Chains A and B, each alone.
Chain A
Amino acid sequence: MPTRVHPLLGAFAALVFLFLLAPLVIIVGASLSDTTYLTFPPQGLSLRWFANIFQIEAFRRTAITSLQVAFLGTALSLLIGVPAAYALNRYRVELPRWLSTLFVLPILVPEIVFGFSLLKSITIGSGLPVFPSLILGHALLVLPYSVRVVGASLASFDFSIEEAAMSLGCPPLRTFLTVVLPNIQAGVIAAFILAFITSINDVSVSVFLTGPGISTLPIQILAHMEQFFDPTIASVSVLLMLVTVGVMAIIEATLGLTFLTK
């Protein structure tokens, strides 16, 4: 491709990035305002809305729930997703093609339909309490990441190394843990991170699976917004953006951010 960019195209792209980043800057500004209502540019500078987050018990409680659900759901999805990804790559020609399609289904089915159906069949239909339902729902929601991102790592893994270890008498599980896993480490970490952030941010599935006393942070934010329109929400948003920064740092350190364009 030519390396010269027409100035008009360059200007357009600059405007697009302004469009993408300005709203986030506005949130940061609004979170620092010393007013009782949301405004930008901030009037007076104050960190009191950040302090206010910690005064509101519901935010603390739902943040903990969100973290627990994201950790457990992601761990569960890796626990069942990594073996599936391994089999799909190791026995590629022998396994039926529909099997790999099956693990993409959670992307294909609208999340809101999935959340509603899960509530109907599992939470109410089978009487499963809300908390484990949330974990199962999130595990399934992020399963495609576990299978596909780890799968992408496995695709470039040379299985003859594994055969060498096994033919020298190394038992299968130990071979997997000491030979295969170190080679796909970056993929597993990236899958974990992408799944984790998807779970933390999820609304469509969680909105159906909140019960008495149990809710996730994004759902709590939505509920708070319906009653109060003060800078607290902006402060919570800033904290969530800091989580995003951390996540990006981890992706960059493991696979590199350009991985996301593949």
Chain B
Amino acid sequence: MSINKVVKVALIGNPNTGKTSLFNQLTGLKQKVGNYPGITVEKKQGICKLNETVKAEVTDLPGTYSINPTSMDETLVLDTLLNEKNETFPDVIVVVVDIENIKRNLLLFTQIKDLKIPTILVINMVDQMERKGIKINVPLLEAQLKTKIVLASARKRIGIEEIKLAILNYKNLDITPISNISERIDKEYFTKLKSAFKEFPLYKSWLLITQKKEFDFLTEKEQKLVLKFREDLDCIKRYQHKETILRYQIINEILKESFIVDTTKATDLRGVLDRILTHKVFGYVIFALILLFIFQGIFDWASYPMDIIDGAFASLSSWVKTVMPPGTFTNLIAEGIIPGIGGVVIFIPQIAILFTFISILEETGYMSRVVFLMDKIMRKFGMSGKSVIPLISGTACAIPAIMASRNISSWKERLITILVVPFTTCSARLPVYAILIALIIPNKPVLGILNLQGLTMMALYLLGFTAAILSSILLHKVLKINNKSLFVIEMPNYKIPSIKNIVYEVIEKTKAFVFGAGKIILALSIVLWFLASNGPASFKNAEQTVSEKTENKDLSKEELQKKIASYKLENSYIGYMGKTIEPVIKPMGYDWKIGIALISSFAAREVFVGALATIYNVDSDGEDVGTIKQRMAAEINPDTGEKRFNFPTGVSLLLFYAFAMQCIGTLAIVKRETNSWKWPMLQLVGMGILAYISAVVAFNIFS
């Protein structure tokens, strides 16, 4: 036997069965998230050591109620299990079921069992057994289900070693199907099906013909056969219904003998909580308070670590400059790469805090109640109750928010959600808003406790949400998409959240942001640095030109350096770009310098502040808003003799940043999630037009 043998394990189960807890227990932090080739769903994998020589590669498949998929996430389970050549095709499947809802959970088990892949059944949350008055006859159930059963409690680490042992001995598992569906539905039909695909297990052939999608791993001949069987759609539909009813019958027969519940022991904590949390008044009040609390976390608590990160990267840049020999390479590191990485890291606190809250709400079971409360309201806007989660997440970053829309099964509702999420005020807009508000809004108290600047910030948040809602209404009216999909959500029992699960979830989401969006932001920071630090001949002769011009003036060395830097920027490639677009942005009240900042922040909005810092040649530790602010406040518009950043220009900029789609990362993720350039382009153009028009109108009204 070879050393380091790897057993491929797939974890499958209904949502809310503690499958992820089990995955975390089995693999610890040895997890990685990758992408499945060609599709966008994340692949969560981890390594689990079974004994000295054998390891298991565990894949955590998305939670699903059935092998017949209704959403993008669920399709993955089917794809993994049907294609033997797939690199994640499992040697053994571990089906996780929740002891409280074993009947419905076993439906998925019986489907998977019929695929003739070795399968282990893990009955989870057995620590609740006594309290719920449940008794299981394990040997009998094992015999009936023809499988190995492990009673476990992933949260309390009960049964984990037993599961590992069962995985290790997977070759001894019985692979006979348990539900002889063909006999009981239509023997003749299924005999025909069986002889058509002789090499496949019958249930696999049945799944191949019942799905609407194409399976590219089939041979041409097999594909033709599949299409032929699919012609009789009514028959397939009828038999699928029959199959499900039959499976429930079989499960009922089995459970009658081996699974006993004493219902008198059930408590009604759930009922009490449900009545409060979904109450027509208290339900919304509680939800609003929770939202307020989350926003408080994102803005207030996150600002402390963000200031520290900001300062740390600024000092790192200056340190690099003092330690390394001056030159292009040092500049690349100090002015391109370090601020680029800093621009990504700075968002980690907000994203981590937001996802901590969201995963707590999901773990406790509260999120389903929010979906229930909000569904009818959201439907008026063409979305689903499930859209609430992406819209909240969007206040941190649109990228994970858009990924969170995958569980919306209706394509139209999902698409609208994806399209409007970028309107919500993400954390990248905050530094832009902060500096502009500081410039144009006086820091005056309102009604004693509130503050005018704070109120403006809040108004901008509301503006973002309003824009999202209004555009969703428009999209709902305009998009002609047949919306025949079912909304069914499970209302899980309330649970105390597991800290381990939350920590892992937050780490995973943050990693996804850092490596997804981060790469793009970093790459563009480097490109921008290059464009700003190179230019045609006039750029190269900057020092000479400036020295000649200022010969008569008595300038200190420092001031001369600043003049040179400023001249260089004006004559750099990006300076030329800024000047080129000046006629276009003039109606909004901007000059070429703001134009540079606009171009720079196309990649990511927060670059605006950094770009302005460079433009107004603040010292290299120029992340200090105070200094940039003073420079900006002193800037004069030569045409009018007024301040450049006066009230009209400021409002115009605020509106532009509130509406414009200035985020390459979001565009890339929308392309990936919708599998088309059409939708990200619609966002780019539509939001761009809205931003431009509202900025022009605002500028002209206030001027």
Do A and B actually bind?
A: no
A-to-B contact residues, CB < 8 Å: none
